[in-house]
């Protein structure tokens, strides 16, 4: 039996997660802990700062668009705020394998790529709950290719678990900056949610539908033969 895709609130998804894990014999692990302290919900501010990741000027030099993970990531990782957020969750078989989730943001800054590189900058990503804490950082350097593209890596800061890549494209007098931020630890929680959803679907499919009770047919009284 195929269970159609559905729109689940955070509360109902949590319930499905618990039911599925109990059915799989994993009740003790019903609450994902892999993401503890490393949320994927919220906006990750990120900027170009003067200096390097080892010696960063705390004052941002150029602001970039905030990084945000898709809503389904926080919901499936048990990180969403509030119980009334509706997230469309497909059937597990339509979702595919549990991915490493990625947040993406694009910004066009009115500064030439050559000036960003020569100026000695680093790209710093901040914790969504505490901007004074960095979760990933990468020094801006290197030589753009013939298409004007420069790629730099973003390393985790203090074992945050976040990493990423920044793509800088030279437009002449401006630079398009595309930042990708990933958090592999979320993959474990998403995989658990998918397993719970699949187990819940199987349990629902195995539950017999309540049918109308059979109505016994009236039997005519036998007519005695005289």
- Specify the higher pLDDT residue, 84 or 181: 181
Q: Is 80 exposed, middle or buried (0-12, 13-18, 19+ CB in 10 A)?
A: buried
Residue bearing tokens 């009770």? 213
Exposure letters 43-73 (e unless 16+ CB within 10 A, then b): ebbbbbbbebbeebeeebbbebbbbbbeebb
Residue 218 lies in a domain: no
Instruction: Tell whether pTM > 0.85.
Output: no
Residue 1 lies in a domain: no
- pLDDT tens digits, residue range 2-37? 333 444 444 444 443 333 333 333 233 322 223 334
Residue 219 lies in a domain: no
| Residue 79 reports pLDDT greater than 80 | no
Residue 57 lies in a domain: yes
Residue 159 lies in a domain: yes
Give the bridge partners for 75, in sequence order: none
Strand pairing report for 102-109 and 121-126: unpaired
- pLDDT tens digits, residue range 32-57? 223 334 678 889 999 999 999 999 99
Please say whether the beta carbons of 186 and 73 come within 8 A: yes
What's residue 31's pLDDT?
28
Tell me the mean pLDDT in the region 158-167: 95
Domain hosting residue 134, numbered range? 6-206
Residue 215 lies in a domain: no
Q: Into how many domains does the chain fold? A: 1
Exposure letters 186-216 (e unless 16+ CB within 10 A, then b): bbebbbbbbbbbbbbbeeeeeeeeeeeeeee
| Residue 215 reports pLDDT greater than 50 | yes
- Half-sphere exposure in the Cβ direction for 137 (13 Å, CA): 24
- pLDDT tens digits, residue range 163-206? 999 999 999 999 999 999 998 888 888 898 888 888 887 887 78
Helix, strand, or coil here: 166? strand
| Residue 133 reports pLDDT greater than 90 | yes
Residue 225 lies in a domain: no
């Amino acid at each position: 039996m195929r269970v159609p895709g559905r729109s689940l609130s955070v509360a109902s998804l949590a319930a499905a997660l618990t039911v599925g894990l109990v059915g799989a014999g994993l009740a003790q692990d019903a609450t994902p802990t892999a993401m503890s302290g490393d949320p994927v919900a919220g906006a990750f501010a990120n900027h170009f700062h003067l200096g390097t990741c080892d010696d960063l000027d705390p004052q941002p030099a150029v602001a970039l668009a905030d990084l945000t993970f898709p809503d389904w990531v926080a919901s499936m990782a048990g990180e969403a705020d509030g119980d009334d957020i509706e997230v469309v969750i497909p059937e597990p078989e339509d979702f595919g394998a549990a991915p490493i989730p990625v947040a993406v943001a694009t910004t066009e800054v009115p500064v030439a790529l050559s000036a960003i590189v020569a100026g000695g900058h680093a790209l710093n990503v901040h914790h969504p709950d505490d901007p004074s804490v960095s979760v990933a950082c990468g020094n801006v350097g290197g030589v753009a290719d013939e298409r004007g593209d420069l790629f730099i890596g973003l390393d985790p800061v203090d074992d945050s678990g976040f990493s990423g890549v920044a793509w800088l494209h030279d437009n002449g007098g401006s630079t398009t900056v595309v930042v990708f931020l990933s958090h592999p630890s979320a993959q474990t929680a998403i995989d658990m949610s998918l397993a719970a959803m699949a187990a819940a679907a199987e349990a629902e499919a195995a539950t017999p539908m309540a049918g109308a009770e059979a109505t016994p047919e009236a039997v005519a009284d036998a007519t005695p033969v005289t």
